Homo-oligomer: A and B are copies of this chain.
Amino acid sequence: MSTRESIILLAEKLVKEKGFNAFSFHDIAATIGIKTASIHYHFPTKADLGVAVLEQQKTRLYQMQESVQDKGVLAKLEAFFSIYNNLPRENMVCMVGSLATDFNAIDPKVQENLSEFADLVLQWLTDILQEGKRENIFHFTTPTKVKAVQIASSMVGVVQLQRLVNEDDNFFKKVKDNIIKELKAK
């Protein structure tokens, strides 16, 4: 893996763990064994690094969409949830939520890329829900986009709340399972 890729991956981890404005080039440099000046060679500014992280997120999303395109709607829904599945265990929140709370404190370039990534995720979930309705697997009556926003919001929020409560209560899994149950209910 190239140094550039290592930096992006570690930056992603740190954003999800601590937030964009709480990690520093020094955190990254110390972990991967280089100096902060070397990071600036790959990413002139921290905003450039933020943009690169979001572009990588988009690429990963496209790959995930492609990998399940021939599968059933329930497999696609599970792929959507896989964005969030491992976060609580790793003491992380999702990229969108982490950057959204810092929105007014990040560079406009990062803001723009974040909005685009969030739109992609929302549109993907909307498409999945629509397909489920068409196939008579899901039976909600709410407008599909609204339902998608509601479900995505639940995921964004529950990984954050999970951090604050006793981890014996696996609210993340309970909420996720309940969402699937409600989607299937007639």
A interface residues (Cβ-Cβ under 8 A, vs B): 17-19, 21-22, 91, 93, 96-98, 100-105, 114-115, 118-119, 122, 142-143, 146-147, 149-150, 152-158, 160-161, 163-165, 171, 174-175, 178-179, 181
With A18-B102, A100-B164 known, 8 other A-B pairs at CB within 8 A are A97-B97, A100-B160, A101-B101, A101-B102, A122-B165, A150-B178, A153-B154, A154-B154
Q: Interface residues of A: mostly helix, strand, loop or mixed?
A: helix
**A164 CB, nearest partner CB in chain B, Å:** 4
Residues of B within 8 A of A93 (CB): 100-101
In the complex, are the beta carbons of B149 and A153 less than 8 A apart? no
A157 neighbours in B (Cβ, 8 Å): 97, 152-158, 160
Instruction: Tell me, in angstroms, the Cα distance from A147 to B98 when the chains sit together.
Output: 24
Copies assembled: 2
CB of A101 within 8 A of CB of B161, answer no
14 residue pairs of the A-B complex, CB under 8 angstroms, read: A18-B102, A18-B105, A19-B101, A100-B160, A100-B163, A143-B174, A146-B171, A146-B175, A149-B174, A152-B157, A153-B153, A153-B158, A154-B157, A156-B156
Q: Top 7 closest A-B pairs, CB basis?
A: A153-B157, A156-B157, A22-B105, A157-B157, A100-B160, A153-B158, A18-B105
Distance, CA A39 to CA B14, complexed state (A):
30
Residues of B within 8 A of A174 (CB): 143, 146, 149
- The reply to whether A175 and B161 contact each other, CB–CB distance below 8 Å, is no
